Structure 1
Amino acid sequence: MTTRILPAAGDPDAARAIVALLSQLPDAEPAAPVPDSTTLLDTLFRLAADSLDELPEVVLVHERIGPVPALELIREVALRFPAVGVVLISSDAGPALFSAAMDSGARGLIGLPLAYEELAARVQAAAQWSAGVRRHLGRGPEAPAGPGGRVVTVTGAKGGVGATFTAVQFALAAAAAGRRTALVDLDLQAGDVGSYLDVQFRRSIADLAGIQDISPRVLQDAVYEDRTGLALLLAPAEGERGEEVDERAARHVIGALRARYELVVIDCGSQVTGANATAVELADLAVMVTTPDVVAVRAAKRTVRMWERLQVRKAEDTTMVVNRWSRHTEIQPSLIEKITKTRPTRTPVPAAFKELQAVVDAGRVQDLDNRSTVKQALWTLAGELGLLAAPDAPAGSPAPASGSGSGSALALRAAGPVARLRRGREG
């Protein structure tokens, strides 16, 4: 089988050396090297727009790629194009970088100077892995063949502001619009997605925590296919098991879901953990839900500032949804935007709990009447946020990166949100 290889190297001499060695590999078909991260992503998006089969089996990323640092670029390629095996080429082949590369989604690390035997072994391993993933993806007729689905996180400013209800309605609206949608409960100790939809299931996200390569069959065993059309990945019934889902597990699970569904809606609860901070960092769209009161708005501001300090997501890249709003509320959306520096939505959600009480108490929020002003507002909001239809045009570049993206921040970003917080305290 011919292995298609796309090298990405900013240094022309390094690019020539890589291509020279690749040309000696049996059954290898090296493409012309790309000089920067933007060209690499543009090339992959263009190929994926035609067919999954057009993508190369292996992408080689040189450590001196730019403008996006190497580990960030690997993370982006691995998430957007899950059937491509990415290998990092670096002068540092130590265990710390190896671990960071694996966490970012790399399938191998090749040390510099290049050696033929090591290059051949790593390329072959990545190509075999890619072929296996494509075989799995090919079994499911509904598996997306493009660059992967969209990930949306919904976080509450504090408990009780309606984040779970919002996430559930967003997912129901997308499923009703015909999008293949997964709803994930990442409120690991106190998740209530199952209670809202009257679902009990023996499997949860914790069952995927120790699995390095999550195949479609493994994912299918953990997901509950609800009659609403949603694929549900629930929080563990035993809250203490939530500790099993760390940053690495969250990254792997989200990558597997992105490869399988058009839209992944994640309820992140209101507590900042390593797992849900990772989800917010990886999300194409991060939604914060608040109510128009002093305590909730202060909590929203506190969480957004924490995300910024951890280099998880900038305030201006966070979308604020105001729940339980009325014209008579003293704190209006414009003031919340000013206080939190977040991006406002046009549609606030009205305060009309009486409409919801019966379905919430029954655990059947999917049965909420279409005449409900709350449901109408949330489904309108889902359309405003682009959740009801695929993007009109293929993206030439990925969603805005949430962190700083500077070379000096590479080690911090590779370490993960919780490790970044610890290092910030120590510094």
Structure 2
Amino acid sequence: MTSQFSIAIIDEDKLSRDALLSSLKPYADSITLAGSIEHVSHPSSLQKGAPNVVFLGVARVEQGIKDIRTITAQFPRASVIACSSEKNVEGFLALMRAGAVEYLLRPIGPEELNLSLQKVSRLIFAATAEEPAPSGKILAVYNPVGGMGTTTVAVNLAAALAAEGAKVALVDLNLEAGDVNTFLNLNPAYTLSSVTTNIDRLDADFLMSVMTRHASGPYILTEPLEVDEAVSITPDQIQRMLELLKKMFTYVVVDCAGLLAGCNLTILDSADLILFNTTLSLPGLKNTKRYLLALANRGHDRDRVKLVINRYLPKSDIQLKDAEKVLGVPVYQAIPNNYADVVSSVNKGMPVVHLLPKSPVTKAILGLAERVKR
């Protein structure tokens, strides 16, 4: 971390404040101290203005949630790192949903502190860079039918890319049966139909105003709430929205399903990469073969269409090499079948890559994220 940023420590426990200050000494060349205070209610005692990062001591989750909201209201650009002695998964999720970007368990080890500072520094300087961002990449995660775990892949891929500091949009364009809001425990005030019904006033400011930032990092645009709203959405509206999103975000991850027709054709034609998500079952492979041929006939070659095998079991009757032989394309990424981890993440409204960093699913998704960056 060569660029400087400002840090504040807010904690009722003086011993904890002093311990953190001591741990931060090796970073003296990279950080400045805006202040070390006891209460959120006294932000004016921070000597050097708005901090980039706030280390917040949390003794009680309910109070921590209130404090995070107070801090983010007072300092909208600050990244809040919650610090607690309680190993409480539900509390961790609640604090993340309130706006914390990290959760550190006390005593804070040197490695954990270093990783957190690296993360927030990437977020800070990605957001404040003066140079215009390059045109983004649209990543369509697709299978024509449901039940293949396509939303799981899309949600976790978006979170994995955002964890590296990239500006990521996650758009649910499964117009018939979208589930991104359920997977992330969102109840947004605005949805995709908020965009399409106001297409004449569509610009970057309006689009950002209707997207919801999830605690895991991505900006979310969910599917319409009503079926009738979804039916009225046109390919031209989708095209305009995707073109604008590509200018605004480094990555635009699109969750889509259904026939190669209408809006889906627009999505896939607009995509820089199509991640065709399937499973190692005979019906799944049969359908995949048909659709890969259809995509190839539309000019989507192997450089743009990549095969993702989801729910992979190494000891299943059908192996990866069998799928490659049948489909005539290499497997781009295999994601292991770990039902318990995925269900736990959905029930808690947090991607596996954040909730369970040591899960085999997380490892595979991080591998997929590295591949799509190339």
Matches within 5 A, 1:151-300: 151-156=138-143, 158-210=145-197, 211-212=199-200, 214-300=202-288
- TM-score w.r.t. structure 2 length? 0.61
| Cα distance, 1:339 vs structure 2 | 2.6
Contact 2:272 2:304 in 1 (8 A): no
SS of the equivalent of 2:336 reads coil
Residue segments in structure 1 that go unaligned for 5+ positions in a row: 1-139, 392-427
Structure 1 residues 286 and 381: alpha-carbon distance in aligned structure 2, compared to 1, 3 A threshold: same
Question: Partners of 1:218 and 1:197 in 2: how far apart?
Answer: 23
Structure 1 residues 262 and 316: alpha-carbon distance in aligned structure 2, compared to 1, 3 A threshold: closer
Matches within 5 A, 1:103-182: 145-156=132-143, 158-182=145-169
- Aligned-residue CA RMSD (Å): 2.2
The structure 2 residue matched to 1:358, chosen from 344, 351, 368, is: 344
Contact 2:216 2:351 in 1 (8 A): no
Residue identity matched to 1:205? L
Contact 1:194 1:200 in 2 (8 A): yes
Identity of aligned residues (%): 25
Residue identity matched to 2:139? V
Structure 1 residues 240 and 301: alpha-carbon distance in aligned structure 2, compared to 1, 3 A threshold: farther
SS of the equivalent of 2:300 reads coil
| Cα distance, 1:156 vs structure 2 | 2.2
Question: Partners of 1:258 and 1:348 in 2: how far apart?
Answer: 27
| Cα distance, 1:213 vs structure 2 | 5.8
Structure 1 residues 343 and 242: alpha-carbon distance in aligned structure 2, compared to 1, 3 A threshold: farther
Matches within 5 A, 1:315-334: 317-334=304-321
Residue identity matched to 1:191? G
The structure 1 residue matched to 2:290, chosen from 287, 296, 302, is: 302
Question: Partners of 1:191 and 1:204 in 2: how far apart?
Answer: 11
Residue segments in structure 2 that go unaligned for 5+ positions in a row: 1-126
Question: Partners of 1:202 and 1:269 in 2: how far apart?
Answer: 24
Residue identity matched to 2:304? D
Structure 1 residues 359 and 179: alpha-carbon distance in aligned structure 2, compared to 1, 3 A threshold: same
Higher strand share: 2
| Cα distance, 1:381 vs structure 2 | 1.7
The number of aligned residues is 246
Structure 1 residues 353 and 281: alpha-carbon distance in aligned structure 2, compared to 1, 3 A threshold: same
| Cα distance, 1:376 vs structure 2 | 1.3
Question: Partners of 2:159 and 2:296 in 1: how far apart?
Answer: 30
Structure 1 residues 248 and 343: alpha-carbon distance in aligned structure 2, compared to 1, 3 A threshold: farther
Contact 1:320 1:342 in 2 (8 A): yes
